[in-house]
Amino acid sequence: MSEQKFTQIENMLTELIHAVGTLKAYFEEEREENQRRFEQIDRRFEQMEARFNKRFDEMTAKLEDINRDQHYMRARIMQNEMDIQKVREDLLQQRYGK
């Protein structure tokens, strides 16, 4: 192989090594940037999850309050119905006697 060909191949290899080094540095920068982006996305999801959990807890508490109120109102209605029935019976007893 001639000296000129050898030098030409050597130069081409040198350029290739530099190009690979440049690409490697570029890919490393991209990897680091992607890592930062993913970290930001993870933080956003954590914030969203925290807000969702807080809202879910608030809604659960509200539903428990509504459920408690419904039980109370059901008990009051039943008591009122029993009182009305007692008054009817008393009125019938007064009207028609025993």
Q: Would the pLDDT of 1 be above 70?
A: no
> Is the pTM here over 0.85, yes or no?
no
Distance, CA of 76 to CA of 44 (rounded, Å): 48
Cβ-based burial of 52 (10 A; exposed 0-12, middle 13-18, buried ≥19): exposed
Mean pLDDT over residues 27-34, rounded? 96
Task: Tell me the per-residue pLDDT of 35-89, one tens digit each, with 9 for 90 and over.
Answer: 999 999 999 999 999 999 999 999 999 999 999 999 999 999 999 999 999 999 9
